Structure 1
Amino acid sequence: MRKIAVLSVALLCLFSCKDKQSKTNTNTTVGEEITEVKTYAELSIAQGGEWKDGPRGHKEYSNGTSFKNVNSLQVPQEHTDHTWFLRYEGPGWENSQIGYRLYLDWRNAIDIYGKKVDSLVLPYVGQDGFDSYHEPADWGQDILKAGKSMGIGGYGRIVADTVVHFQSVKSTFAKMENLNASSSVNIEYKGWESGDESIDLTTKLTIYPEDRFTKAELTPSKAIPGICTGIVKHGIKLQKKEGSKWAYISTYGKQTLASPPDNLGMALFYKLDEVAEQKEGIDDYLVVFKPANKTLTYYFLGAWEQEKNGIKTEEAFIGDLNKKLESLEKTNSIN
């Protein structure tokens, strides 16, 4: 059974986990006014079913009846794309302006949830049909087609001009972190093989209460060439700008899954001294990092024209990016 039965949204809870400075741990039921929770990250797994051989030659999670949110997950060896095990296929994170999700399988791309409302919506997404988020809803929808790319700000390794995703990994462990001032998705990949290299990779994707960006931090276990990130190519001209320390690449235009397609801006900020080159790949506009065994930091964002009180023009989008670049040049941080 490929679709999970509808789970009463009224029974779902958001958790604002306390950090070291917090005095309380607030649980807020979806459907009530959310005042304490400003950011949110979640991972939801199917319950009540079992792994069975599927028609595509791999296991599928069959006859699931509900989803359950978990704080952490050792991803089952059976899991790959479209196994019906993870609600919207991976972890999601959001604030009042935008949401993102990562395909927690070999694709490892990052997608955008465009939001028409200024409230948190992830607990609703994918509850009324496994891939219902592709259709327009009152809250918004999945607006980005990642295809074979890394989506927006995803990560892989370029080998012989081809981006290697996560087809070969010994194990993947994901953990959600909801603090008062941010929410993060933390992932540990053990034995990621690409080309003739095998490394461990730890990643952290963090969203803050204000603005649309995610801070990405990648920490490889050893220095290898070719680790990369990028922006999916949708026939939109690439814009780029460099400062003395930081730079960005961006696209803006009709490149969404909305019908008809409407305007979406995407951007990626990176440190010039951490990057070997910026170039065009087969499916992505690429940013390729220098070999390093230290943490690599970059930021990515999307800006949808249907967002409530959002950015409506390319001129406004570029103006916003330039302000962020100026902040990075001065403080080494957007937030």
Structure 2
Amino acid sequence: MIKKILASFAVAVSTTSLFALPPALLVLKNKSALTRENELIVVTRSTLASKVKNLQPGDYLTFSANGKTIPAQFDDVDGDGKWDEAVLIVSFAAKESIKLQLQASKNLPDYQQPVFAHVRQKHKNADQRFGPLVLKDTMPFNNPPTDFSKVALPPYLTEGPAWENDKVAFRLYFDARNCKDIYGKRIGGMVMDTVGANPKNSYHNFSNWGMDILRVGKSLGAGALAIRTKTSSNADTLIRVGGSMVKSETFHVVSDGPLRAMFDMTYSCVINNKPFTITERTSIWKGQYFYQSDVTISGLSATDELVTGMADFYENNAESIRINSQNIYYSYGAQSENKDKLALAVSVANSSHTSMTNANSLQSEIKDTWLVSQPVNNGKLSFRFYALWEKTNTAFSSKEGVRDFFNKEVEMMGSPIEIR
């Protein structure tokens, strides 16, 4: 009898692999009491390799929770030809922990969902159509704005790079203005490959997909960059990162969806005969009403300031919210080009910001802007720029809805998802 039991046990071991390693787990925890939708989860390759012992250089991973596969994106953020980060979008209940099972795969997992984030740059061809996506581009020195009295279409679709998710879209003028603009969206699909391609369908007109909702003028628009520094005579000055001070300007796509899109803008500049370099990495991902800007600066003094801001036109009131380590400066009112409600905001960490001011009180070519400044310090700075249009979400039709939204945003930024 004993021999039979042992034999049965041996068979069980060989067929059920009792001594196999348990599945690798990645635990995500929402430490806040808030429900959190579409949280960006970024896990480095090194972290995943420490959990999945058999992860080979050419491998990918599948992620699953409760038997359901979680879509993932794999980004090569340093350009060495292999992925460095796995990107997931996960929603959480209050205080919820989610255990993800990890499995190495030789093939890139098949993504069976819509595209939720996109970045693009396109050039106009001789036939007056716009060509394929451009992954790297260099702006001609001091490139002038398009003169639409002479041409119907600009040299670049929507005058420069555009980036979007399922909530909102932005563009950067690839010319001496170097300003940022906003396209309000009424649909979740990606639209910026076609918006602006036909001059008969002006994006300044309200349409089924949305419209250009921001007046820019001489402002910093939707988060363009400027530098506050001292002149040789020690006078305080505010200078846009644009025009002839920019000796070279390059655009480079880092990743293009389907969950997160990223691109770099690198500027080689001179102020007061002092050369410096700015690299701005812009990210946008599924389900959010902002883009994130991570800026690296070299060649400036630690006491100089990086300045960004939001256009100040029409009817709006400016306020701020501070909770723990985070701060949001925002304006709200009937300030869209559709003359309806729009909130604009810049969020920064409390430890690195100065108070919001208005550009019209300064001696600068930058006008009509609520300015938010951060000291350069060690040259690593970040901010988020928000655009909340009531035609995208009716919750933004009231100042109470907007303030509730920003209160939640600040609280969530102060309590990031724990990854272990």
**Change in 2 beyond 3 A, CA 1:90/1:257:** same
1:96 aligns with 2:166: yes
Tell me, yes or no, if the aligned pair for 1:183 and 1:207 is still in contact at 8 Å.
yes
Out of 322, 341, 346, the residue aligned to residue 263 of structure 1 is: 341
| Structure 1: tracts of 5 or more residues without a match | 1-15, 27-33, 49-62
Q: Deviations over 1:271-296 (max 9, x none)?
A: 12122443221221111111324320
What is the deviation of 1:134? 1.4
Q: Deviations over 1:61-80 (max 9, x none)?
A: xx744333211112233733
**Change in 2 beyond 3 A, CA 1:318/1:269:** same
Aligned amino acid, residue 350 of structure 2: L
Tell me, yes or no, if the aligned pair for 1:277 and 1:289 is still in contact at 8 Å.
no
Aligned amino acid, residue 228 of structure 1: V
Distance in 2 between the 1:313 and 1:165 partners?
A: 34
TM-score, normalising length from structure 2? 0.65
Distance in 1 between the 2:323 and 2:209 partners?
A: 37
**Change in 2 beyond 3 A, CA 1:303/1:313:** same
Distance in 1 between the 2:406 and 2:397 partners?
A: 14
What is the deviation of 1:196? 4.8
Alignment-derived partner of residue 189 in structure 1: 267
Alignment-derived partner of residue 299 in structure 2: 222
What is the deviation of 1:169? 1.2
Alignment-derived partner of residue 240 in structure 1: 320
**Which 4+ stretches in 1 moved above 4 angstroms?**
none
Alignment-derived partner of residue 326 in structure 1: 411
Within 5 A, what are the aligned runs for 1:1-335?
19=75, 20=83, 23=108, 35-48=113-126, 64-77=128-141, 79-82=143-146, 84-129=154-199, 132-159=202-229, 160-167=236-243, 168-176=245-253, 177-190=255-268, 192-224=269-301, 225-234=304-313, 235-258=315-338, 261-282=339-360, 283-307=368-392, 311-331=396-416
Q: Deviations over 1:191-212 (max 9, x none)?
A: x123453211000111111111
Distance in 2 between the 1:170 and 1:131 partners?
A: 35
Larger radius of gyration: 2
Q: Deviations over 1:53-106 (max 9, x none)?
A: xxxxxxxxxx74433321111223373311621110111111111111111222
**Change in 2 beyond 3 A, CA 1:45/1:131:** farther
Tell me, yes or no, if the aligned pair for 1:95 and 1:208 is still in contact at 8 Å.
yes
Tell me, yes or no, if the aligned pair for 1:17 and 1:25 is still in contact at 8 Å.
no
Give the 3-state SS of the residue equivalent to 2:346 in structure 1. Answer: strand
Distance in 1 between the 2:265 and 2:110 partners?
A: 24
| Structure 2: tracts of 5 or more residues without a match | 1-71, 76-82, 87-106, 148-153, 230-235, 361-367
TM-score, normalising length from structure 1? 0.80
Tell me, yes or no, if the aligned pair for 2:143 and 2:176 is still in contact at 8 Å.
no
Aligned amino acid, residue 251 of structure 1: S
Identity fraction in percent: 22
Stretch moving more, 282-291 or 314-323: 282-291
Alignment-derived partner of residue 37 in structure 2: none
